[in-house]
Amino acid sequence: MSEEDLQHGGDRFPLTRRSVIEAARSIDAEERERALEALCAAYWKPVYKYVRWRWNRPADVAQDLTQGFFMELLERELLEKFDAKKSRLRTYLRVCVDSFVSNEDKAGRRQKRGGNVLHVALDFAGAEEELSATVMDPALIPSPESLEGFFEKEWVRSLFALAVEDLREMCVAHERERTFHLFEAYDLEDSEKTSYQQLSKEYGISVTDVTNALAWARREFRRIALERLRELCGSEEEFQREARAAFGWDAK
């Protein structure tokens, strides 16, 4: 991989994403299903954790409710009722989750849903590990601010995890695995921060190459994350608001 490739990105991984709101309102059944899968990929983990925390459901019940919620989104065409001028999509979805779980309780339903209901891999075990590492104060549950804050935090975590996986796949496709490993070691590892000099020695490359590789990976990560974010927004205004929430600055 040349320094020029690292600096300018080389061949870009194609990411052309149509808004899930547009897709959900399509007359094409495949487009509507694609919208559900895109939403599920980004939101299943925040929804699952939210049901576990807010509604205090056991893991197996929360799993069924999570899958049932996304099926209801499709069956009841709930995305068609979303108005980006009135709320953020994630806020609308959180309110829909509350309504869904409440209605399930009132009806006394306990439907066991198979793992193939959604065409998205749901790593509930991994979600449980993350949840167990999260410190939550049950006394804050009644607070609307705490509910919104918890859901937003998990939504951002999910968005970034998807972007990291997209970046990894892009690096593999373009034979840039080393670049991803550098990014993973320096920007993603929870252990004590390693230095550019240490990475230079470990990978047998110059510090300048490490610097360029990390700059490229961060730029591509930002682009990928913003592409995914734009797909999950109903308007440009919402996209800018969510970019500020996720990154702390406006998207350019």
What value does the mean pLDDT take over residues 106-113?
65
Q: What is the distance between the alpha carbons of residues 213 and 206, in angstroms, rounded to a whole number?
A: 11
pLDDT at residue 4 in the model = 38
pLDDT at residue 32 in the model = 80
Measured in degrees and rounded to the nearest 5, phi and psi for residue 53 equal -85, -55
**Total residues found in the chain within this entry:** 252
Percent of the chain with pLDDT over 70: 82
pLDDT at residue 29 in the model = 83
Average pLDDT of the chain to the nearest whole number? 84
Query: Confidence class of residue 136 from pLDDT cuts 50, 70 and 90?
Result: low
Q: What is the distance between the alpha carbons of residues 173 and 175, in angstroms, rounded to a whole number?
A: 6
Query: Confidence class of residue 141 from pLDDT cuts 50, 70 and 90?
Result: low
Chain segment 224-235, per-residue pLDDT in tens: 999 999 999 888
pLDDT at residue 9 in the model = 43
Q: What is the distance between the alpha carbons of residues 73 and 93, in angstroms, rounded to a whole number?
A: 9
Q: What is the distance between the alpha carbons of residues 109 and 97, in angstroms, rounded to a whole number?
A: 15
Q: What is the pTM of this model?
A: 0.82
Give the largest CA-CA distance in the chain: 64
Buried b (16+ CB within 10 A) or exposed e, 197-212: eebbeeeebeeebbeb
Highest mean pLDDT among 86-100, 143-157, 232-246: 86-100
Chain segment 175-202, per-residue pLDDT in tens: 999 999 999 999 998 667 789 999 999 9
